[in-house]
Chains A and B, each alone.
Chain A
C-alpha cells in the first residue's frame, strides 16, 4: 500500500469548514483513498473513500487531485464533536485488505 503523509495537527473554528490534506504521491492506479477518524475512546469510524472522482456523503467531501497524488477531506461545518484524529489510508481494497494506519491528523475544533 502507498504511504501517506498528513500534518500532525490542525485547529478549526466551530462552524467553519475543516480542510484536512493528505499526500499520497506513490499511489498506484487501482488504489483507493479512505478516510477514517477516531474520536477519543471509540473505535475508528469510516468517513468516506474514493478512487478518482470527488465524493460527497452526509459526513464529508473528498477531493482528489487529478494526478491522484494528494487529496483533501472537507468537513463543511465543523462542530465540537468532530474533534478527533483523522486518518488518510491508501489501499487496494479496504474490504479484504488490512488497513495501515499512520499517525493521522489531530483536528481540534474550537468554540
Chain B
C-alpha cells in the first residue's frame, strides 16, 4: 500500500510569489489533514477535509492560504502571495475511520526568500 505522498519535497520561492503544494492521501482515506511546522515551533494543525468537504479550517493562518480537495482524492494547498513567515515544513496526513491513526507524508519544505 502506497503511503501519503507530497509534492514537491522542497520549494524555494520569492516573497510575493505563489506556490501550490500537493498531497495524495492513502487510497480510500476519507480524512485528510494539513499541518505545518515553522522554524523552532511545534507542528500545528491547519485544516481537515472529510472527503471533499472542509470539516475544520480553524488552523489556517490567514486568507493567503487556500486548500482544496476536489473529488475527495488529492488535495492542494496554495499560498498566494507568499510571505517570509510562511517558511516551514508542510505535512499532510490521512486516515480512514474514526479511531484509526493518521498517517503522514514526509512533508514539503517551503522556503520563502
Contact = CB atoms under 8 A, between A and B. Distances in A.
Interface in B12-60: 31, 33, 35, 42-45, 48, 50, 55-56, 59
Interface in A58-111: 93-96, 98-103
A94 B100 contact: yes
Nearest to A45: B104
Interface string A28-52: 0000101000000111111001000
A106 B74 CA distance: 32
Interface string B90-113: 010101111111111111000000
B33 A98 contact: yes
| B59, B96, B98 — most chain A CB neighbours (10 Å) | B98
Interface size class of chain A, counting residues whose CB lies under 8 Å from the partner chain = 10 to 19
Contacts of B98: 93, 95-96
A43 B4 contact: yes
B48 A49 contact: no
Given A43-B4, A46-B102, A100-B45, A95 B33 contact: no
Nearest to A41: B106
A102 B96 CA distance: 24
Contacts of A102: 42
A56 to B, nearest CB: 16
A33 to B, nearest CB: 12
Contacts of A42: 106-107
A41 B100 CA distance: 24
Given A43-B91, A103-B42, A95 B101 contact: yes
Given A43-B105, A98-B59, 18 more contacts: A32-B99, A34-B101, A41-B106, A42-B106, A43-B104, A44-B43, A44-B104, A46-B101, A94-B99, A95-B31, A95-B97, A95-B100, A96-B48, A98-B35, A99-B45, A99-B102, A101-B35, A101-B42
Interface of B: 4, 31, 33, 35, 42-45, 48, 50, 55-56, 59, 91, 93, 95-107
